[in-house]
Structure 1
Amino acid sequence: MTEQNTRLGIYLMALTMLIFALQDAISQHLARHYNVYMIVMIRYWFFAAFVIAFAARQAGGLRKVAATKRPFLQIFRAALIACEICVMITSFVHLGLIESHAVFAAYPLLVAALSGPVLGEKVGWRRWSAIGVGFIGVLVILQPGMTVFSPFAIIPLIAALMFALYGLLNRYAARFDGTATSFFWTGVVGAILLTPIGLWHWEAMTPTDWGWMLALCITGATAHWLLIRCYELTEASALQPFAYLQLVFATILGLLIFGEVLRLNVAIGAGIVISAGMFTLIRARRREKAA
């Protein structure tokens, strides 16, 4: 990779995280008025159309891209991320963007913790220490015992766990299938899974909110396309630290648009979580270089 490509990949990653944050803000707006399953279903219809069109343009066409050596693995990981999206949007409604993303920022620590049992990777004492410190940060954010603990506070942590497992399954699936194949199955399986559930919870939307729904679909497809371009231009280990920008952008949107408040414990806890996460990413990058 050239230095120019790395720089461009990082710029695109920052833009991608901004678009993902905008997508989350639109999701929060819609989910306050309509059923979450219906919103995610419509989003997945657009996403499925996007991945099918993307697959059709690849070498060998749709048939080659759809071919997988591990269909059950692909179905499970695609269903997992569809469920995770529903859980995370539910968290936005109950906790807001800021606190949801502050807790969700723990997912790289969960990836490190689960990489041993899922992928058979060795997790040394330094990374276990960082994982422990990171979860102290999560406790600072949630403040159990300081006030009446809201059961909603566990929702983004469940989403983070699901997303971490999804990320590890992506790495496992990459041993058998290409990125385009996994991308195809993610969109198509999610649409198939959510369609009957979303239709059961169908609600009439106003013309204005249909406009927001269209914006949600466009931002989702754009962000996923940009993310693919990022990983084509730059190594994943160089890009991953910039994924934390989504928390920064979501915080700004929560403050400016939804009138949320950045509590001191959330800011401190998020700082601890991000610092621990950055340490695990740096350690992982050094291990990759050594290997």
Structure 2
Amino acid sequence: MAEQDTRKGIWLMVAVTFIFAMQDGISRHIAGEYNVFMALMVRFWFFAGFVIVLAARAPGGLKKATRSAQPLVQIVRSVIMIVEVIVMVQAFVLLGLVETHAVFASYPLIVAVLSGPILGEKVGWRRAIAIAIGFVGVLIILEPGFGVFSAKALVPLAAAFLFALYSLLTRYVGRKDPASVSFFYTGVVGAIVVTAIGLPYWEPLAPADWGWMAVLCLTASTAHFLLIKAYEVAEASAIQPFAYLQLVWAAGLGMIVFDEVLEPNVAIGAGVVAAAGIFTILRTGRKRRS
């Protein structure tokens, strides 16, 4: 087991959030020019190759990486993940990075709500209040009843729900399967599913966009590797709140590169959601330790 180093884990998480935000910007550009299924198919081909190489080099090799105590749940979890990525990238195209990430930031609250029925965890009154406040923040962002709300706003909310479900199932399978098995299933099953969907939509990429695709694939592998290292050296509850920095990086990128506007209601709502989410994460970590 790696030696615990919270400060190192925090800096790794900061790096991960920055890389993921840059990836989101590249994904928005590519998905705006090409079919989203095709773009994700190429990305997951590289990701699958990365996890296969990583598994082959690990003790026990590929045989150990494929040996799951609950393969059906692993497959369902991986399919949910690829669907979430598709929905999220579509949200970038429809709403932009700023609004998408502001709504998506609600996923830890959804995790807390669903942790009872899926994992059998008890949600105390403090977390219940934080969850309620967080969803008020989501309503502030969406502005229902003020002429701004549209069906498009439900797309990032659907992505948040799917990612929360994926996160809970990851914790569920983690009771019996090591993280390396879950990582392997995510990459390989994801690549198989998105290939089946994406092949009919294949179209040639411009040379410059192949460069962006290469950067996207390389940074995806780098970010996932750094994320694994972050959780190896620090407790999840200590570093998970810093994942909200991705909202900051993505909003900055959206405004600087894509000329998006940070509306006051989005800024206020995102702040409420982030504060409630961070409290929920810290409270969950404290309950687990006790």
Indicate the TM-score class for this superposition, using the shorter chain for normalisation. over 0.9
The aligned residue for residue 42 of structure 1 is 42
Matches within 5 A, 1:159-198: 159-198=159-198
The aligned residue for residue 56 of structure 1 is 56
Q: TM-score w.r.t. structure 1 length?
A: 0.97
- Separation in 2 of the partners of 1:196 and 1:118? 29
How much does 1:81 deviate?
A: 0.4
How much does 1:127 deviate?
A: 1.2
The aligned residue for residue 286 of structure 1 is 286
The aligned residue for residue 102 of structure 2 is 102
The aligned residue for residue 117 of structure 1 is 117
Partner amino acid, structure 2, of 1:107: Y
The aligned residue for residue 247 of structure 1 is 247
Matches within 5 A, 1:64-213: 64-213=64-213
Secondary structure of 1:32's aligned partner:
helix
- Separation in 2 of the partners of 1:53 and 1:40? 20
Matches within 5 A, 1:2-21: 5-21=5-21
Is the Cα contact below 8 Å between 2:23 and 2:219 reproduced in 1? yes
- Separation in 1 of the partners of 2:241 and 2:276? 11
- Separation in 2 of the partners of 1:2 and 1:220? 25
Unpaired segments ≥5 residues, structure 1: none
- Separation in 2 of the partners of 1:199 and 1:234? 40
Partner amino acid, structure 2, of 1:17: T
Secondary structure of 2:166's aligned partner:
helix
Q: TM-score w.r.t. structure 2 length?
A: 0.98
Counting matched residue pairs gives 289
- Separation in 1 of the partners of 2:78 and 2:130? 29
- Separation in 2 of the partners of 1:48 and 1:17? 21
Q: What whole-Å deviation, never above 9, does each CA across 1:120-146 have from its counterpart, x for those lacking one?
A: 110112211111111110010011111
- Separation in 1 of the partners of 2:178 and 2:288? 20
Partner amino acid, structure 2, of 1:166: Y
How much does 1:203 deviate?
A: 1.5
- Separation in 1 of the partners of 2:52 and 2:3? 31
Q: What whole-Å deviation, never above 9, does each CA across 1:2-27 have from its counterpart, x for those lacking one?
A: 67x21111101100100000000000
- Separation in 2 of the partners of 1:289 and 1:117? 21
Is the Cα contact below 8 Å between 2:142 and 2:148 reproduced in 1? no
Secondary structure of 2:268's aligned partner:
helix
How much does 1:285 deviate?
A: 2.0
Q: 1:33 to 1:75 in 2, by over 3 A?
A: same
Q: What whole-Å deviation, never above 9, does each CA across 1:64-100 have from its counterpart, x for those lacking one?
A: 1111111100100000000000000000000000000
Moved segments of 4+, more than 2 Å: none
Is the Cα contact below 8 Å between 2:140 and 2:266 reproduced in 1? yes
How much does 1:108 deviate?
A: 0.4
How much does 1:149 deviate?
A: 2.2
Q: What whole-Å deviation, never above 9, does each CA across 1:170-228 have from its counterpart, x for those lacking one?
A: 00000111000000000000011111211111122100011111111111111101100
How much does 1:148 deviate?
A: 4.3
The aligned residue for residue 258 of structure 2 is 258
- Separation in 1 of the partners of 2:22 and 2:282? 28
Partner amino acid, structure 2, of 1:272: V
- Separation in 2 of the partners of 1:14 and 1:96? 22
- Separation in 2 of the partners of 1:196 and 1:241? 36
- Separation in 2 of the partners of 1:286 and 1:64? 33
Is the Cα contact below 8 Å between 2:238 and 2:282 reproduced in 1? no
The aligned residue for residue 228 of structure 1 is 228
